[in-house]
Chains A and B, each alone.
Chain A
Amino acid sequence: GQQLNQSPQSMFIQEGEDVSMNCTSSSIFNTWLWYKQDPGEGPVLLIALYKAGELTSNGRLTAQFGITRKDSFLNISASIPSDVGIYFCAGRGAMNNNAGNMLTFGGGTRLMVKP
């Protein structure tokens, strides 16, 4: 099956610092999504990307859909304590042309912010 490699696995940063994480795949994806998961909660969508090369921002978050369609990154600028959580990339594959359109998730990046 399709695999997403997400890095880094964890980050421990100082409040105010910028953060960058990325996902890569050997397969092409049509859609890249970035989610945040707080403890005991379900994933919450942060940014959705639908076109190769697309760069999208949501407040302090910026994400890009790689030109090759095999990678994406998420940047968080000026981190704050409430940014703490696990960030997941997810991709929807090019070959999934039915109504289900499953998502393949990366392994997650655990972000810890020191005040």
Chain B
Amino acid sequence: EPEVTQTPSHQVTQMGQEVILRCVPISNHLYFYWYRQILGQKVEFLVSFYNNEISEKSEIFDDQFSVERPDGSNFTLKIRSTKLEDSAMYFCASRILFLGGTEAFFGQGTRLTVV
């Protein structure tokens, strides 16, 4: 069964450093998402991406965050200068179509720890 894959599974970084989280969405999917989950809390929407541009973003997704689809297969989330409160599980998701009856598949997540 096709799946969304994320790398690395765990990233530890020093405060102030830049990190790039990588995702390979399911190959024929058109809509891509990043969500995050702070430990023990609910999943929160960060950003959605379609047709090579951001289509929606939340208040969390400030100037420190950016997304890119550099090569037609990868979908990346960059955090320019990490803060302690950026520590969370980051989930990538992809969706084939924007239609009722088709929902996004989530990856297994990248655990980001900022120290």
Residues of A whose CB lies within 8 Å of any CB of B are 1, 31, 33, 40-45, 48, 50, 88, 90, 96, 98-108
Contact = CB atoms under 8 A, between A and B. Distances in A.
A104 B35 CA distance: 10
A33 B42 contact: no
Interface residues of B, number: 29
B93 to A, nearest CB: 8
Nearest to A102: B45
B31 interface: yes
Contact of B48 (A40, A44, A99): A99
Nearest to B58: A102
Contacts of A33: 103
A7 to B, nearest CB: 13
Nearest to B54: A100
Contacts, number: 66
Given A50-B100, A108-B42, A43 B106 contact: yes
Given A45-B103, A98-B56, A103 B108 contact: no
Interface in B79-93: 91, 93
B48 A101 contact: yes
B69 to A, nearest CB: 14
A40 B106 contact: no
Given A99-B50, A99-B98, A105 B42 contact: yes
A105 B44 contact: yes
Contacts of A44: 106
Given A98-B56, A99-B31, A100-B31, A31 B42 contact: no
Nearest to A110: B40
Interface in B13-59: 31, 33, 35, 41-45, 48-51, 55-56, 58-59
Contacts of B49: 100
A100 B94 CA distance: 11
